[in-house]
Structure 1
């Protein structure tokens, strides 16, 4: 049996310009306020209309404090996107770390619901993600998060449902996660709550592609 490394213990390196969480509690609180304020502004303004002065005023911090943590608004946007990607991963982990449901299809439904909740409950998500595409330096982090999500789901399928712990099945899981990410983008691009038809198709894809015990998966 191939031993799957615990990828959750090795977070991907942060993209250039993205702030690593400060060690001091007061600094972490200020960074959180800046990110939360930016997210709220994205609910009311186009990203191009938002500048550092407006963000500082919304966060109720001085412009000097803002620049202590972020060199410009683009670094704030990138940090906010990284925060969201981390939330996607945390949502998957919360599902698989709980008691697994009786069937993998039910697990898939819970995973989809968790991702939908994150996206529905995230202020500014659509305003930034769809109207200011992630900068190139975020692509590697985005892909790394997808790989970690795939590894977490693969481990749950092996542990809870007896799926094969093989390189082929792990590769299939990575492909399905990548496809699911793109379908979630499609679901939320024009529908704030997620297009239900697209979300249903994601479930069908999981059931027919990932959860089906195809011979080439080693079952």
Structure 2
């Protein structure tokens, strides 16, 4: 995969990069990835093609940078929600997190199209995996702090699996509908919560009646 040429240090350069990324997101609302081109992006951003190539090698590098920005936003959303006062029940926390992620599908330009129809960029796999691990760790800490989840490796593993399941269910909820299937979104929080706190021989949780 072609990489971003360099990370801009000056404010003016950062602003140009932001213009390019925002233009790409707008275009992706109505333009397929195959139809997308650097000339089209540059025109939409109001910059020359030469300026665009100063920061990005090709359109894949631009979309990769856009996806990285979205992944960073996912981490910030998770940190904000898990660090603020927690709701009374763990399922409510998960519902709150899923609702925030669902809003990304509904409101973030280009997000849903890239999620389902964008390129599979190999260099982003490790970055995406690290994002999931960061989110899972934030969720685990909140569950330990607010809902008496044991602070053990076993339950860190449960949190990682629950985040993976939640991501797959979000995928399913928005696959056919731009607004998301409300029943799948509601079931996602329920399934995650039941799995996270399911009793086991090693869990330390009592069995359920």
Same fold (TM over 0.5): yes
Q: CA RMSD in A?
A: 1.7
Q: Find the counterpart in structure 2 of residue 23 from structure 1.
A: 9
1:199 alignment partner, one of 185, 200, 209: 185
Distance 1:36 1:98, change over 3 A: same
How many pairs were matched up? Answer: 205
Stretches of structure 1 lacking an aligned partner (at least 5 in a row): 1-14
Q: Find the counterpart in structure 2 of residue 47 from structure 1.
A: 33
Q: Find the counterpart in structure 1 of residue 53 from structure 2.
A: 67
Contact 1:95 1:114 in 2 (8 A): no
Q: Distance in 2 between matches of 1:55 and 1:132?
A: 16
Stretches of structure 2 lacking an aligned partner (at least 5 in a row): none
Q: Find the counterpart in structure 2 of residue 123 from structure 1.
A: 109
TM, length-normalised to structure 2: 0.91
Is 1:102 the counterpart of 2:102 in the alignment?
Answer: no
Contact 2:4 2:55 in 1 (8 A): no
Q: Deviations over 1:101-135 (max 9, x none)?
A: 11211111111111111221111112222112431
TM, length-normalised to structure 1: 0.87
**How do 1:71-82 and structure 2 match up within 5 A?**
71-82=57-68
Q: CA deviation at 1:97?
A: 1.7
Q: CA deviation at 1:209?
A: 0.6
Q: Distance in 1 between matches of 2:200 and 2:59?
A: 48
Distance 1:202 1:26, change over 3 A: same
Q: Distance in 2 between matches of 1:56 and 1:114?
A: 31
